[in-house]
């Protein structure tokens, strides 16, 4: 089949969904799904780098995920803390710049410290950007951006000013948004930036996601025709 002229997407964003159902299928507690989900994160970063993707955004915790049991939330944050600590060496070795989107000021202080520390340690890198969406919600991001714009003495070009106030300032719009687990919705993810993103849904549950699953998504992307309102 003739592939479209599209190159590898520059920015891939993933809604990592299905950890709970993965565990349920195996009669395991939900948290086991999250533990295996971390392995899928490691595999996906490695594969994304290998395929020449420059920006990888992973939706890890939404502004709506606070609705979950306190126990599960606590476990997710302990897992995140462990991940941020353990990955430090590998991020430096692989020249990965670590960034976040979402309101991290609302996260537990120890997590904020880990985030700050990893950002600092990787701030000089430009080869690959790993962006974790933490306490992220597009509606919340947009409202926070508007607040920032309103605080400015001189707004100037409103579009520019607004976009520079989003958490994704300096990050290109996602070319491809992937959602695992078979759900077909965006769940408050990159609603402004994803205006022209290609969407790809797979039934694969997040803990099973791997290099092959990512390569399939990229292949589908390459066959798409992006028009951006033109021809």
To ligand IPE, the closest distance from the beta carbon of 154 in angstroms equals: 37
CB of 183 to Mg ion, least distance (A): 7
Is the Cβ of residue 69 or residue 157 nearer to ligand IPE in the bound state? 69
Should residue 58 be labelled a site residue for Mg ion when binding is judged by CB under 5 A? no
Interface pick for ligand IPE out of 6, 8, 10, 21 (rule CB under 6 A): 21
Query: According to the 3-state scheme, what is the secondary structure of 56-81?
Result: EEEEEEECCHHHCCHHHHHHHHHHHH
Give me the residues paired with residue 133 across strands: 59, 101
Q: Is 16 in the site for ligand IPE (CB under 6 A)?
A: yes
One residue of 38, 55, 59, 101 binding ligand IPE per CB under 6 A:
59
Q: Which of 147, 57, 71, 70 is nearest to 102 (CA)?
A: 57
Catalytic entry in 4, 65, 94, 127: 65
- Hey, what are 15's tokens? 């809604």
Q: Which stretch binds ligand IPE (CB under 6 A): 46-54, 57-65, 150-158, 211-219?
A: 57-65
Q: Which of 8, 65, 94, 112 binds ligand IPE (CB under 6 A)?
A: 65
* 198 touches Mg ion (CB under 5 A): no
Q: How far is the CB of 226 from Mg ion (least distance, A)?
A: 28
Write down the least CB distance from residue 184 to Mg ion, Å: 13
**Is there a contact between 53 and 9 (Cβ–Cβ < 8 Å)?**
yes
Give the whole-angstrom CA distance, residue 231 versus residue 75.
48
Task: Starting at the earlier edge strand, list the strands of the sheet with 55-62.
Answer: 96-101, 128-136, 55-62, 11-15, 176-179, 198-201
Helix, strand or coil, per DSSP, at residue 14: strand
Which of these segments, 15-23, 102-110, 120-128, 160-168, binds ligand IPE (CB under 6 A)? Answer: 15-23
Q: Which of ligand IPE, Mg ion, none sits in contact with 98, Cβ below 5 to 8 A by type?
A: none
* DSSP code at position 10: S
Rounded Cα distance, 72 and 81, in Å:
14
Q: Which of residues 4-43 bind Mg ion (CB under 5 A)?
A: 17
Is there a contact between 104 and 115 (Cβ–Cβ < 8 Å)? Answer: yes
Q: Which residue, among 215, 216, 227, 226, has the nearest Cα to 52 in the 3D structure?
A: 215
- Asked if 174 is part of the footprint of ligand IPE (rule: CB under 6 A), the reply reads no
CB 180 within 8 A of CB 15: yes
Reply yes or no on whether 113 is catalytic: no
Active site residue 135: no
Q: Which amino acids are annotated catalytic?
A: 17, 65
Q: Which residues bind ligand IPE (CB under 6 A)?
A: 15-21, 59-62, 65, 76, 181, 183, 185, 187, 206
Q: Which residues bind Mg ion (CB under 5 A)?
A: 17
């Amino acid at each position: 089949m003739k592939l479209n002229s599209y190159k590898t997407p520059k920015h891939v964003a993933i809604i990592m969904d299905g950890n709970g159902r993965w565990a349920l299928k195996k009669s395991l507690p939900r948290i086991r799904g999250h533990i295996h989900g971390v392995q899928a994160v490691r595999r996906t970063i490695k594969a994304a780098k290998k395929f020449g993707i420059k920006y990888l955004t992973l939706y890890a915790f939404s502004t709506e995920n606070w609705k979950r049991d306190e126990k599960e939330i606590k476990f997710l944050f302990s897992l995140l803390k462990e991940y941020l600590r353990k990955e430090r060496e590998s991020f430096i070795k692989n020249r990965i710049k670590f960034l976040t989107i979402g309101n991290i000021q609302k996260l537990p202080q120890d997590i904020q410290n880990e985030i700050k520390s990893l950002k600092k340690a990787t701030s000089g890198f430009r080869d690959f950007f790993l962006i974790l969406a933490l306490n992220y919600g597009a509606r919340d991001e947009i409202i926070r951006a508007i607040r920032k714009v309103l605080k400015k003495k001189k707004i100037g070009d409103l579009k520019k000013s607004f976009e520079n106030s989003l958490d994704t300032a300096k990050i290109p719009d996602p070319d491809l948004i992937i959602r695992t687990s078979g759900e077909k919705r965006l769940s408050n993810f990159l609603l402004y930036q994803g205006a022209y993103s290609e969407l790809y849904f797979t039934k694969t549950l997040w803990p099973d996601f791997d290099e092959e699953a990512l390569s399939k998504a990229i292949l589908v992307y390459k066959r798409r025709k992006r028009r951006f309102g033109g021809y």
